[in-house]
Structure 1
Amino acid sequence: MKHKNTRISQDHEDAGGAEIPQQKLLGLLKLIRLLKEPGGHTMPELLELLGKKLRTMQRYLSLLENVGYPVDKTAGTPTRYFLFEPAPEGRGIRHEPLTTAEADLLALRLADLGTPTPVLTSLRQKLQLPTLLLPQPHELHSLRLSRILDTLTLAIALRRRVRLLAYESTNTGTVRNRDVEPLALANNYTQLATNDLESGEFRIYNLSRMGGAELLDAPCTMPDSSRRPDIFGMADTDEWKAVELLLTERAYKLLLRESAETAADCRPAPPAPGEAGRTYHYRGRVHGYDGVGRFVLGLPTEVQVLAPDELREFVRDKVARSIW
């Protein structure tokens, strides 16, 4: 069967669909690349990465299916879209692709098995993991932090005590174990807010100074600290301050990435006069203005400070003293 050649045009697409505008073709090629990435992408991720609207994205996916690309999606929530590449005839059954978290977990477990063998190497290749079975020296630090983070996340979820192994103190220069009751991860998952069992005080520990973390078979019993980090990772004071922000849809999504808990504090808001797109009203509490101020300054055209005036003046002062 002969196929018509597809011509590229920057200006228009004829009624029969024989000509594809250059920007549309580039968008389709980028979409194919994204759908081939491990784990695929959710619809909101595709819309943000390609800068397209939902109807346009649905047309793109339909077009790919019409020309023979096997676009598929996961059954779980959130739904993830990917290109399904069937195994050779007689080789296994259809599987969804590994997510990044699943691939990382398998890499860690395979690394624990020790010296590479032909069987393990073959298994890793079939799972489409990196070619080297054991981590490189520069990767060992990241692997250790990943394991520590997994343990701390589980301890927080279960409200269990945890032992920080071989923690290096910069104040005393000592290296020893610390038993703590974890409260929350802070500062982009680089710090752990805790109630320290030895001193009975609130303390912050850096993950980079931990030699490891061990989950203990003891529940957390100390009262929660008023210095639990806010959603922006700040815990510098005991005082809580109320703030209100008006967010564009993009700023709202970025805020949810920093902390999914903020969804409960956000409400849809009517757009400002003359402006298109959805907006969201965020009302929450923070420990000081450094963390929330950093968020506002990072999205200067997409976040409006509604209250308090102190936060508005804080941001203006930072801009006035900038050295860009």
Structure 2
Amino acid sequence: MHPSVRVKPESEFANGSIPQQKLLSLLRLIRLLKEPGGRTMAQLLSELDKKQRTMQRYLKLLEEVGYPVDKTTTQPARYFLFEPAPEGRGIRHEPLNDQETELLNLRLADLGTPNPVLVSLRQKLQLPALLLPQPHELRSLRQARILETLALGIELRRRVRLLAYESGNTGTVRDRELEPLALANNYTQLASNDVATGQYRTYNLSRMGGAELLDAACTLPDSDRRPDVFGMAETDQWTTIELLLTSRSYQQLLRESAAAAVECQPAMTTEQAEGWTHRYRGRVHGFHGVGRFVLGLPLEVRVAAPESLRQFVLDKVAGAKW
């Protein structure tokens, strides 16, 4: 028997409950330490429901079995797993916090149609390599793989097959073969040509069950049409609109599309006195998308122009059945 190995009494291993719970806690601790930003000691104690003395023992145990635990110099200190360089030389780096990650995501979204390198960067920011992904993370992991496949199809000009795509209009679920053109609106939509009909179509990533890269090259004519910031691409025509936004609706607009930031300007002094913080001026394909945005935040958005958009919204309100 190795001198460093301590054999516990059989009673301590009764039904395997104690070692199993301890192993589960250690695995959960590793997962938390690998997430962006790490965790403070208070967060670790709360999320794992442990006392500080036990947590310190767990952290020391991880180091003993080869997991280098480090912590930030900020207060309160945040604990994370130290990642060595490929050559074996350690590079000390503190993990990105939530604000830094969000800013980098916005800047990456401004770069337009992604290539595989941009996709990889976004995955590293949003989906770190975690041990034992939790159920709520599986959907994000699946969408990341779908996004990577679509981006590769765009880059290589090859067809893709969407697996088990759920139609928002009919609710039917079936596979669809298409030629991808571009990803839009914070990578939530795909602009494409449908192979079966030869027509331009947009698809939401949230409704895709999966994606396969095909060997067939894209042959249909490319289209310059792309979804507007409200997710619509009804026609080839563009209409310029102007909206007054409160702080809340401004933040909601940026969540829907980071590209909208460059089309927003601070509201004029007289408008700010009425509670408006920003004025958005952009182009849309029809009024259905922007109309949905306005009606969804009725006290947070005012239509400044054109009059036809204001009338479109008023007609929708008049026809509502409450």
TM value normalised by structure 1: 0.52
TM alignment of 1:46-195, pairs within 5 A = 72=74, 83-85=76-78, 95-96=94-95, 102=124, 105-107=127-129, 124=131, 133=132, 136=135, 143-153=141-151, 158=155, 160-166=157-163, 178-185=177-184, 189=188, 191-195=189-193
Q: Unmatched 5+ residue regions in structure 1?
A: 1-37, 41-69, 73-81, 111-123, 125-132
Aligned residue type for 1:287: H
Aligned residue type for 1:193: A
SS in 2 for 1:272: helix
Match of 1:320 in 2: 318
Q: 1:211 to 1:96 in 2, by over 3 A?
A: closer
1:200 and 1:183 mapped to 2: Cα distance? 16
Deviation at 1:281, TM superposition (A): 2.3
Structure with more of its chain in helix, by fraction: 2
SS in 2 for 1:164: strand
Match of 2:31 in 1: none
Match of 1:49 in 2: none
Contact kept, 8 Å, 1:245 with 1:282, in 2: the verdict is yes
2:191 and 2:241 mapped to 1: Cα distance? 22
Higher-RCO chain (CA-CA 8 Å, sequence separation at least 6): 2
Q: Unmatched 5+ residue regions in structure 2?
A: 1-34, 38-71, 82-89, 102-122
SS in 1 for 2:142: helix
SS in 1 for 2:313: helix
Deviation at 1:160, TM superposition (A): 4.1
1:261 aligned residue (259, 262, 269): 259
Contact kept, 8 Å, 2:191 with 2:227, in 1: the verdict is yes
Q: Quote the RMSD (CA, aligned, Å).
A: 4.4
Deviation at 1:232, TM superposition (A): 0.3
1:142 and 1:305 mapped to 2: Cα distance? 35
Q: 1:284 to 1:154 in 2, by over 3 A?
A: farther
TM value normalised by structure 2: 0.52
1:152-206 CA deviation, whole Å, 9 max, x = no partner? 35655x47444125456879x99666241323346982x5220235654312345
Total equivalences in the alignment? 222
2:73 and 2:276 mapped to 1: Cα distance? 29
Deviation at 1:145, TM superposition (A): 3.0
